[in-house]
Amino acid sequence: MDERKDSRDEDELSIASDDIFIEVPTPKSEEATLSWRNDPSYNFSDWKIRIKIQNKVDEYSSDNSFVDRTYNVHRNILAIGERRSGYFANLLHYGIDDGNRCPDLELSSRAATYFPDLLDFLYSSTAFDITTRNAIALLFLSQAFQVVSLETKVETFLHADIKLSNFGYYMSDALYFRDETIAFKVIDTCEKEAMLLFNNSPNIHLSSMLNVPILSSVLKVEEKCKDIWLFLTQEKRSLHEQIFTKLQVLRRKNSRQ
């Protein structure tokens, strides 16, 4: 009799199971690997980062408003492994931003533009490129969020890529991100290259070919850098103070528990 009862139970279980239908989202072909860019409905992301982007174009702008951009991410990707972010690891270790599971971070518009590149590196070093356009921003972000492996890669790239032909890009970004070290590295490298060109080519021919007094421009920029170098760490200090304050609050909260 017990055998007949067990048989009926198995039949009922089979029938019940047949009636259950779970629709599992099918990833697109380009979303086959884990990425913050994937659809969060099937990506199992367990954390969010909200970036508050400053609207002001420059320090003289009166626009103090912000726009928000939210990224769905995975805590273990951000905080574990050789590409880990020390900042996010500490934030997760001491608590998840006062329990709201979505830390708010303020970034300037140019830094925010390249924040997705930082996330790309944390997820995969192969799906990621350092270029002349994003190198200084990535150096700033890697230092601010303590991604040592990315900082090393960017510094190696800069050593090979800074040259007279891209002087404008690098000088503009170095001044924007208040990076004194890079600013003077750009000046020194380009000044040496310009001197080499002048020594190896007839001055008149070179000047007419370039149509700009490069060496004079470099020297003038160097003087400007000397005048403003005291302000070169302003943006970094602002973000670092924000990070330090957040961690202090989390530590105090954690110690009381």
String of DSSP letters for 162-221: --GGGHHHHHHHHHHTT-HHHHHHHHHHHHHHHHHHHHHS-HHHHHHHH-S-HHHHHHHH
User: Which pLDDT score, from 0 to 100, does residue 220 have?
Assistant: 55
Where are any strands of DSSP class E within 91-163?
A: 104-107
- Does some domain include residue 130? yes
CATH number for the domain that contains residue 197: 3.30.710.10
Contacts of 73 (CB under 8 A, 6+ apart): 36, 45, 47, 48, 49, 119
pLDDT in tens, 39-96: 887 788 888 999 999 776 555 556 667 889 999 999 999 999 899 999 999 988 876 5
- Does some domain include residue 55? yes
For residues 162 and 170, the answer to whether their CB atoms sit within 8 Å is yes
Q: Which domain holds residue 145?
A: 45-256
Rg for the chain, CA atoms, rounded: 26
User: Which pLDDT score, from 0 to 100, does residue 94 have?
Assistant: 79
User: Which pLDDT score, from 0 to 100, does residue 38 have?
Assistant: 87
pLDDT in tens, 104-147: 889 999 999 999 999 999 998 777 899 999 999 999 999 999 99
- Does some domain include residue 20? no
Rounded distance, CA 40 to CA 108, Å?
26
- Does some domain include residue 111? yes
Q: What domain count does the chain have?
A: 1
- Does some domain include residue 11? no
CA angle 147, 151, 153 (to 5 degrees): 120
- Residue 168 pLDDT more than 50? yes
Rounded distance, CA 12 to CA 10, Å?
5
User: Which pLDDT score, from 0 to 100, does residue 204 have?
Assistant: 45
pLDDT in tens, 207-241: 444 444 444 555 555 555 555 444 444 544 555 56
For residues 139 and 158, the answer to whether their CB atoms sit within 8 Å is yes
The DSSP 8-state label assigned to residue 55 in this structure reads -
- Does some domain include residue 31? no
Across 27-31, 81-85, 250-254, the highest mean pLDDT is recorded for 81-85
Rounded distance, CA 128 to CA 251, Å?
34
- Does some domain include residue 27? no
For residues 94 and 257, the answer to whether their CB atoms sit within 8 Å is no
pTM for the model stands at 0.67
- Does some domain include residue 62? yes
User: Which pLDDT score, from 0 to 100, does residue 147 have?
Assistant: 97
